[in-house]
Amino acid sequence: MPSAWFRGPTRVGSLFAIFTLVNATDCSSDDAKRSGTRTYEPSQSGAAGEGSEGVDVSGSSQSGSDCCGGAPGNAGAFADDSPGGVSQGGAGAATRNACPEPTGVEIMHGFETVDTDATWSGINVIGQGVSVKSGAVLTLEPCTVLKFQPGQGFHVSDEGSVHAVGAPDKPIIFTSSRRTPAAGDWDSIVVQGNTSNDVVFKHVIVEYSSEGFDIWAGANVELSSVLVRQTKQTAITLEQGVTLAHFDDVTVQEPLRCMDLGPSVVTQLGSFSCTGAKDGTIGVGIGTITEPSKWKNWGVPYKVLTNNTYFEALVELDPGVEIQLEPGINLGASKGGALRALGTKEQHVVFRSSKPVPSGSDWQGLHFSDDGSANSLLRWTDVRDAKPAVFLSHYVLPVENVDFSKSACGLEIYQTGSLSPVLGSTNDVGATCP
């Protein structure tokens, strides 16, 4: 299995287990009954809801049937039950759920193994997990709903394929089967790593899971016009070595953390937004960046979670990027790599401690040595809460309008090294390190 450096306890979870009927929802309980009503109203305006003229507020878990009996209600693709409603561009910028009222009987699935090509539609209740095996293609038609009973999940094996392609007004829904849903009701969508995977999620909503997407190293995946909301843990995990065929128009609402990424994945991200997170960061784990990359400013801080994250290629940080470092971590450019922090007077690049109340010496600074490229630059950059802010070994580092004054000390030199202030810039490098 791939490294699980940023993973909670849901890697295996119940997804691979065969559950008894004890785990199924009791069809006689309140959780198994639905009213089957459907209404529309204007979305709430706000940072995440602009442009939505009308959304379905019935809620995927507030109508329809959990397992048996009851009138199956609308899937609630655009339930306006989170701050700001469906975000601008989220799940394809749909303004109305045009899915027809469901008819017929809900399809019950026990432990479902998809080992030949199959197409699903309508409302599907997942009682004991879904596993798409090698060589099989599972196609989900627009308006398809998958309701997961407690603890269940969706798993794509090596070389298995999923084509979940909805439409802007006809999304595909992965949701809880419970009448009163909550974050963590079901497990996650897991895509196992293999570069031959053909896995597409487009115009899709994922809600009330433990994790939303858990994509393993080696997988090749498209996430486009996707909304992930109310997850108990990280909304989207993309391990080091994941290839994103496309990643655009992805919206996250009310997770524990927005995303966890391998360093090589950061530069593959397209448009992305995250609101309402308890830990409002993009976690970046252990790994080496060996290809040029740009870290964009999404309005959400990056958090480097483990030590030994090195830049062995050119890495550029856009204006306004904030990187938080866990205690004891350093971040370095080596083996021909370079770090160019390209802040502006209006939008500084900021490196700081991840601790809510920093001590001034929580992490171990930015490291530059003679085996790195000479192309590094810190421009309008603040390095806070570190000791030292910058460590140089046989390296001359150009700086322009930097501020190290909020670190325990500013500069530590091993044998030789110096800062090279850009002409006309004003720099506060703080105290000299002993």
- 128, 118, 39: which is closest to 76 by C-alpha? 39
Averaged pLDDT, 215-233: 96
pLDDT band at 195; cut points 50, 70, 90? low
pLDDT band at 374; cut points 50, 70, 90? confident
CB atoms inside a 10 Å sphere around CB 415: 8
**What pLDDT shows up at residue 111?**
84
pLDDT band at 434; cut points 50, 70, 90? confident
What average pLDDT does the chain have?
80
**What pLDDT shows up at residue 96?**
63
Is 93's pLDDT higher than 50?
no
Averaged pLDDT, 73-90: 35
pLDDT band at 290; cut points 50, 70, 90? confident
pLDDT band at 231; cut points 50, 70, 90? very high
Measure the CA–CA gap between 63 and 1, rounded to whole angstroms.
Answer: 38
Instruction: Identify the weakest region by mean pLDDT among 63-72, 164-173, 216-225.
Output: 63-72
**What pLDDT shows up at residue 187?**
96
Measure the CA–CA gap between 285 and 283, rounded to whole angstroms.
Answer: 6
The pair of three-digit structure tokens given for residue 415, joined into one six-digit string: 């044998």
**What pLDDT shows up at residue 305?**
84
**What pLDDT shows up at residue 18?**
27
Measure the CA–CA gap between 122 and 104, rounded to whole angstroms.
Answer: 9
pLDDT band at 264; cut points 50, 70, 90? confident
Q: What percent of the chain has pLDDT over 90?
A: 60
> Which parts of 259-381 fold into alpha helices (H)?
none
**What pLDDT shows up at residue 384?**
97
Measure the CA–CA gap between 419 and 413, rounded to whole angstroms.
Answer: 10
Averaged pLDDT, 103-127: 90
The two beta strands, 411-421 and 390-400, are: parallel
**What pLDDT shows up at residue 161?**
93
Is 85's pLDDT higher than 80?
no
Measure the CA–CA gap between 280 and 91, rounded to whole angstroms.
Answer: 21
**What pLDDT shows up at residue 190?**
95
Averaged pLDDT, 92-115: 77
Q: What percent of the chain has pLDDT over 70?
A: 77
- Which residue in the block uniquely carries the two structure tokens 């190293």? 217
**What pLDDT shows up at residue 198?**
85
CA–centroid distance for 231 within its chain:
11
**What pLDDT shows up at residue 129?**
86
Is 152's pLDDT higher than 70?
yes
- 232, 221, 217: which is closest to 8 by C-alpha? 232
Task: Identify whether the C-beta of residue 348 lies closer than 8 Å to the C-beta of residue 404.
Answer: no
Per-residue pLDDT tens over the stretch 379-422: 999 999 999 999 999 999 999 999 999 999 999 999 899 999 99
Q: What is the model's pTM?
A: 0.78
Answer with the residue of higher pLDDT: 309 or 49.
309
- 202, 209, 307: which is closest to 263 by C-alpha? 307
